[in-house]
Structure 1
Amino acid sequence: MNDSTSVLTEPVTDDLPTQPFTGASPYDTYVQASVLNSLQHPLTEAPDEMAFLVTTQVMELWFTLVVHEWRTARVAFTKDDLRAATDALVRSRRALTALNGAWAPIAALTPAQFNGFRAAFGRASGFQSAMYRHLEFLLGEKSAGMLRAHRGDPAVHEALADTYREPSLYDEVLAFLHRQGLPVPRSVRERDVTRPYTSDPAVVDVWRRVYAGPQAHPHLALGELLTDIAELVTRWRFEHVLVVRRAMGAKPGSAGSAGLAWLERRAARPVFPELWEVRGDV
């Protein structure tokens, strides 16, 4: 027997701690793993329903983290703390990358596989996710109708109403740039932040100045970081379109929406629009 085989067959010494815990382990107390692992309750015998439930729940957790980081960044921009804002945005970029990867377990569902459990969730639909709505409101995608949809749950509605009434992340980015000496117009800085953000030619010009300037300037790095985030959000939306198109085609959505057509319209709306428009002008 050669040395390498001998190494492979030698017993492994287990030096992990074996002292029993009193009650829940410190790991479970901190992570709440037992709570998380108790939240999956398939309603059918369909083998793909568990993957659908876990994928959806994992995405909710990623939404929560992204919203947390964007709120952190928004506060940092109000304090003109570009470093803290950038750090939070970088963390959110990592979370968005993981969020996009979370589609994998259900990305190839066939219509028959999806139909095996679709009826079980009744009128439940992803657009009812309150945390995703926080995410979209923070992007400037404000919608009074989406807010009203949550009136039946007062606590959720109140929290979402706060995000609806507050400036978006992008609003605070533009306010920060104005304080840094860039000419963001008053009409943008004092706009009704409960309205959806739409592209403004003067903001395109602000970003044109940034992109035409020194390539090592921190404002350019900020623009590219925001573009990364916009791209990842857009990729998630289009991945959603593909998953739905593959699993159910153009059937109506479970909550009465137009389904695929509605998702396609939402996916086509640009995130931080001026950052895309400016590229043709530089």
Structure 2
Amino acid sequence: MSRQPYDPAREGAQMSFRERMSYSDYLHLEKILDAQTPLSTAHDELLFIIQHQTSELWMRLAIHEIRSAKVAIRDNQLQPAFKMLTRVARIFEQLNSAWDVLRTMTPSEYTEFRDSLGQSSGFQSWQYRAIEFLAGNRNEAMLKPHAHRAEVIAELENILAEPSLYDEALLLLSREGFDIGPDAKRTDWRQSRQASDDVLAAWKAIYQAPAEHWALYELAEKLVDFEDYFRRWRFNHVTTVERIIGLKRGTGGTAGVSYLRRMLEVELFPELWKLRTEL
């Protein structure tokens, strides 16, 4: 006796969407899936495009979460901030995994379409720049690749006009009675701050008595988690690029691997790393 094919409609599943919003409608999948336009006939160019487009989508979410975490810290709402920062770390864990897919592409396969990229490069990702600016690594020279897009410059300028994520954490320390020195009176947020012995001493006091300052201690560890995954993402970027193009210059004109290695030296939350030696 043959079994009838399973029909989800018998259990109430909606099967007609002529006048209803469907999964594809809600997600605007036509726009997303029509956005891959390879410029060559190379098989691996689609991989390259999707890798970078999906990374930009994850970065968009990271920006949303970092901005929200900043507001939560400013409002002394640390529990929601912890959740948001945990999510940012997991986003970068996801971005790290994406490099594993791209590394399946060999140098020979990349050279088949590299010339089609022109001068376009991940170096020009304004969302990546926004994440750096939001976290606290602020370098106005990095605005230049976006000068041709007024709306992007305006977005980045708005970020530079406000305290960074780390600035908000330090201002919280000050509100909680810790002496953070000149950082308590900063008003010009455009420049990256310099590491401070006062801030180091404040974090050290928190780590020496975590039970007394548990919320601040947990905030510090959430920030370290974020930067840990962010550093891994940078490292995986370096090794992936070296594996595929060696020491060639990047398509955007950077020094390629040597430029990316320099970025590995940047610390977003320097005192939180230095205190490990001090404890």
TM-score (norm 2): 0.93
Q: Is the 8 A contact 1:207 1:275 kept in 2?
A: yes
Tell me, which stretches of 5 or more residues in structure 1 are unaligned? 1-5
CA drift of 1:250 comes to 0.7
1:135-154 map, 5 Å: 135-154=131-150
**Partners of 1:279 and 1:60 in 2: CA distance:** 33
* 2:65–2:87 CA contact under 8 A, matched in 1: yes
The equivalent position to 1:159 in structure 2, one of 155, 175, 180, is 155
The amino acid that maps onto 1:280 is T
Alpha carbons 1:114, 1:247 under 8 Å: kept: yes
Select which of 228, 235, 238 maps to 1:238.
Answer: 235
* Distance in 1 (alpha carbons) for counterparts of 2:183 and 2:207: 23
Root-mean-square deviation (CA, aligned residues, Å) is 1.9
Whole-angstrom distance in 1 between the partners of 2:170 and 2:40: 49
Alignment check: 8 A CA contact 1:109 1:246 kept:
no
Structure 2 counterpart of 1:14, which letter?
D
Give the unaligned 5+ runs of structure 2: none
Find the partner of 1:15 among 8, 11, 23.
8
In 2, distance between residues paired with 1:46 and 1:24? 39
SS of match in other structure, 1:102: helix
Q: Equivalences for 1:37-116 in 2 at 5 Å?
A: 37-116=33-112
2:260 is equivalent to residue 263 of structure 1: yes
Residues 48-57 or 107-116, more deviating: 107-116
Give per-residue Cα distances to partners, 1:147-170, cap 9 Å, x unaligned. Answer: 132121111111111112221110
> Which letter maps to 1:30?
Y
C-alpha distance after superposition, 1:101-126 (max 9, x if no partner): 12222123321111111110100010
Q: Match of 1:267, as an amino acid?
A: L
- Identity among equivalent positions (%) equals 34
2:221 corresponds to which letter in structure 1?
E
Deviation at 1:238, TM superposition (A): 0.5
Cα distance in 1 for partners of 2:188, 2:149 equals: 26
Task: Write out aligned runs for 1:268-279 (5 A).
Answer: 268-279=265-276
Q: Quote the offset at 1:186 in angstroms.
A: 2.8
Q: CA deviation at 1:215?
A: 4.5
Deviations 1:8-58 (A, max 9, x none): x95552214353212684212221122111100111111111111001000
Please tell me whether the aligned partners of residues 134 and 163 of structure 1 are also in contact (alpha carbons under 8 angstroms): yes
Aligned residues: 275
Matched, 1:192 2:174: no
Report the CA distance shift for 1:10/1:94 in structure 2 as closer, same or farther (over 3 A): farther
CA-to-partner distance for each residue in 1:235-272, whole Å, 9 max, x for gaps? 00000000100000110111111111101000221221
